[in-house]
């Protein structure tokens, strides 16, 4: 169960490079903030989190260039229930790989998760630095002590501290990780989820990569009825299907708008609202990002009304009206128009997005369909569609002399021989001739007697005209 929850969390979270990232010599000065709270004794895939963190972090440190300056701050490693249990195990200075290994090996998780106080501790060190420093927080939980870590980082950036703050959520099950993502966004870094050793290694390597030199910024704001709305944001290079960035806006101002730094280029951005049934997606095509500008997108999920008038030969007509997801083809909203002015035009209420509007004329044999492809339905507008289906009537009778014949009638379109209608004449004047409502056109009709059985099957060709009545009687 834990594995499934972690996998779901990984799918829902992001690898975003938020708004104020600075050109970052990440391999020059790196300060690690490592969670050594009691929860690090939990297991992932049968291995203690602390063991995974020690091993993966040591591997990363061993791969850093020898001229790197690095430091290590740890919290929750010596005392239970103490929010001041924070220690600089290795001051920021020339990289000593052996010392890193020794300090990591000696960690014994035991205490709380004082994220804000740990960042405050780190900022006192960074304020003495004149060169940019990359700070990497690895945490397996949310804040368990007091303080606003996001605001601390935001204020430090505003005061000119040359800081890039990355956050790695290690094996987190919480659904709302906005507090951690806010720290990364405020610190001009990335929030990265990691749910096993391989993902932790990739996340740590990503944090020591320099941001794109020619990049710009993408800012996505999600709202519903004027309020900030939690949504997942996915970014793809134009024409490609591989997701290159993913994140959540949540419903707070600290992460909504959600801001990401991207290389200059053209992108497709898909925004999916959380907690809304149906087609809760808005897709933006050809979004251009160019440094150092910020491209702003607004995804408004306020509901809008689509009106569809359905008529046949100019009169109100019954039909099935559907709004389809153009990608999956599934109906997002559907209703009937009927023949009443109370329900026709049919009204469907959906969130803004791109839809295929489908009208099925169910009063006409073969259920002809009218489609309006790729309709962009924007917020604050009522989009109206109408379609008039044309039809005529075909009557097929069957008799032998003055006696009515019970016969099976099958009607095929002449153009493609498609079977579109059928019925029985029986031996009653109320059903013989048998009446069919058809779209104008040419048809092949096969009449096969049921009683008496010894009569031969007959075929005839007919043409139906708009609002016309075509009557044919088959005689034996």
**Percent of the residues in the chain that have a pLDDT greater than 90, as a whole number:** 68
Shared-domain flag, residues 313 and 288: no
CA atoms lying within 13 Å on the CB side of residue 215: 19
pLDDT-based confidence at residue 278 (cuts at 50, 70, 90): low
Shared-domain flag, residues 343 and 263: no
Q: Among candidates 2, 6, 56, which has minimal Cα distance to 32?
A: 56
Q: Which residue in the block uniquely carries the two structure tokens 């099935």?
A: 320
**Number of neighbouring beta carbons within 10 Å of residue 59:** 14
Tokens of residue 147, six digits: 């303080």
Tokens of residue 245, six digits: 């960035």
Q: What is the CATH number of the domain that holds 351?
A: 2.60.40.10
Shared-domain flag, residues 220 and 295: yes
* pTM, two decimal places: 0.63
**Percent of the residues in the chain that have a pLDDT greater than 70, as a whole number:** 93
Report d(CA 278, CA 328) in Å as an integer: 12
pLDDT value for 465: 97
Residues 6+ apart with CB under 8 A from 333: 278, 306, 322, 323, 348, 349, 350
Shared-domain flag, residues 279 and 372: no
Q: Which residue in the block uniquely carries the two structure tokens 């009691």?
A: 38
Shared-domain flag, residues 309 and 294: no
CB 374 within 8 A of CB 327: no
Shared-domain flag, residues 56 and 84: yes
pLDDT value for 373: 92
Report d(CA 408, CA 450) in Å as an integer: 7
Per-residue pLDDT for 172 more than 90?
no
Q: Among candidates 343, 393, 398, which has minimal Cα distance to 363?
A: 393
Shared-domain flag, residues 356 and 251: no
Give, as one character, the DSSP assignment of residue 141. S
What is the CA 355 to chain-centroid distance, rounded? 15
Shared-domain flag, residues 142 and 245: no
Q: Among candidates 328, 425, 312, which has minimal Cα distance to 368?
A: 312
pLDDT value for 156: 95
C-alpha distances in angstroms, 201 versus 47, 58, 373, 421? 15, 10, 45, 64
Segment (H or E) for 449:
strand 441-451
pLDDT value for 279: 59
C-alpha distances in angstroms, 29 versus 95, 120, 184? 9, 18, 18
Shared-domain flag, residues 345 and 196: no
Per-residue pLDDT for 7 more than 60?
no
Shared-domain flag, residues 342 and 443: no
Q: Residue 386 forms beta bridges with which residues? A: 309
pLDDT average, residue stretch 277-301:
85
Shared-domain flag, residues 192 and 77: yes
Report d(CA 92, CA 86) in Å as an integer: 15
The residue from 207, 237, 265 where one domain ends is 207
CA dihedral sign of residues 125, 57, 40, 255? positive
pLDDT average, residue stretch 437-455:
95
Report d(CA 394, CA 435) in Å as an integer: 6
List helix spans (H) across 403-442. none
- 157-171 pLDDT, tens digit per residue, is 999 999 999 999 998
**Number of neighbouring beta carbons within 10 Å of residue 439:** 18
- 97-135 pLDDT, tens digit per residue, is 999 999 999 999 999 999 999 999 999 999 989 899 999
Phi then psi for 257, rounded to 5 degrees?
-70, 150
Tokens of residue 283, six digits: 């897709």
Q: What is the CATH number of the domain that holds 128?
A: 3.40.50.410
Pick the residue with more confidence: 173 or 454? 454
The residue from 358, 374, 389 where one domain ends is 389
- 22-66 pLDDT, tens digit per residue, is 333 444 799 999 999 999 999 988 999 999 999 999 999 999 999
CB 286 within 8 A of CB 265: no
pLDDT value for 11: 34
Q: Among candidates 439, 458, 467, which has minimal Cα distance to 396?
A: 458
Average pLDDT, the chain: 88
Report d(CA 371, CA 418) in Å as an integer: 20
DSSP string, 291-356: TT-EEEEEEE---EEEEEEEEETTEE--EEEEEE-TTT--EEEEEE--SSTTTSSEEEEE-SEEEE
Judged on CB neighbours under 10 Å (0-12, 13-18, 19+), 275 is exposed
- 245-254 pLDDT, tens digit per residue, is 888 899 999 8
Domain hosting residue 425, numbered range: 392-475
- 350-401 pLDDT, tens digit per residue, is 887 789 999 999 999 999 999 999 888 877 678 899 999 999 999 999 999 9
pLDDT average, residue stretch 325-334:
87
Shared-domain flag, residues 247 and 334: no
Pick the residue with more confidence: 200 or 6? 200
pLDDT value for 85: 95
pLDDT average, residue stretch 214-239:
91
**Number of neighbouring beta carbons within 10 Å of residue 227:** 11
Number of domains in the chain: 4
Per-residue pLDDT for 269 more than 50?
yes
Residue 349, phi-psi category: left (phi > 0), alpha (psi -120 to 50), beta (remainder)? beta
The residue from 161, 188, 207 where one domain ends is 207
């Amino acid at each position: 169960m834990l594995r499934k929850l972690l996998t779901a969390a990984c799918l829902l979270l992001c690898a975003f490079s938020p708004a104020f990232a600075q050109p970052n010599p990440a391999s020059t000065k790196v300060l690690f903030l490592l969670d050594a709270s009691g929860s690090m004794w939990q297991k992932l895939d049968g291995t203690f989190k602390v063991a995974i963190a020690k091993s993966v972090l040591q591997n990363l440190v061993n791969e850093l260039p020898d001229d790197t300056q690095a430091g290590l701050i740890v919290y929750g490693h010596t005392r239970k229930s103490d929010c001041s249990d924070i220690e600089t195990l290795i001051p920021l200075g020339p990289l000593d790989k052996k010392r890193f290994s020794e300090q990591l090996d000696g960690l014994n998780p035991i205490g709380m998760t004082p994220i804000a106080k740990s960042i405050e501790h780190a900022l006192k060190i960074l304020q003495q630095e004149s060169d940019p420093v990359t700070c990497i927080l690895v945490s397996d939980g949310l804040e368990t002590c007091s303080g606003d870590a996001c605001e601390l980082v935001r204020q430090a950036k505003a005061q000119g501290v040359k800081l890039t703050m990355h956050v790695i959520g290690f094996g987190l099950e919480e659904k709302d990780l906005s507090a951690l993502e806010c720290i990364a966004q405020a610190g001009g870094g990335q929030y990265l989820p990691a749910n096993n050793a391989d993902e932790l290694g990739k996340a740590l390597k990503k944090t020591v990569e320099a941001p794109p030199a020619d990049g710009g910024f993408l800012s996505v704001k999600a709202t519903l009825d004027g309020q900030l709305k939690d949504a997942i944001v996915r970014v793809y290079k134009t024409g490609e299907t591989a997701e290159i960035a993913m994140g959540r806006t949540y419903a707070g101002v600290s992460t909504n708008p959600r801001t990401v730094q991207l290389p200059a280029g053209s992108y497709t951005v898909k925004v999916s609202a959380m907690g809304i049934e149906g087609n809760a997606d808005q897709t933006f095509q050809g979004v251009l990002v160019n440094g150092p500008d910020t491209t702003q997108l607004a995804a408004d999920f306020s509901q809008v009304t689509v009106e569809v008038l359905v008529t046949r030969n100019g009169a109100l007509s019954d039909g099935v009206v559907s709004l389809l997801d153009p990608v999956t083809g599934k109906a997002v909203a559907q209703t009937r128009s009927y023949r009443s002015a109370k329900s026709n035009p049919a009204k469907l209420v959906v969130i803004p997005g791109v839809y295929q509007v489908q009208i099925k004329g169910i009063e006409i044999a073969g259920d002809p369909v009218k489609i309006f492809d790729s309709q962009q339905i924007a917020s604050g507008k009522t989009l109206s569609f109408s379609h008039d289906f044309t039809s005529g009537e075909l009557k097929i009778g069957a008799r032998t002399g003055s006696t009515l014949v019970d016969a099976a009638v099958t009607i095929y379109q002449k153009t493609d021989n498609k079977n579109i209608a059928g019925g029985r004449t029986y031996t009653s004047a109320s059903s013989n001739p048998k009446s069919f409502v058809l779209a104008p056109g040419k048809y092949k009709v096969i009449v096969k007697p049921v009683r008496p059985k010894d009569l031969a099957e007959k075929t005839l060709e007919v043409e139906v005209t708009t609002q016309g009545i075509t009557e044919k009687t088959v005689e034996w």
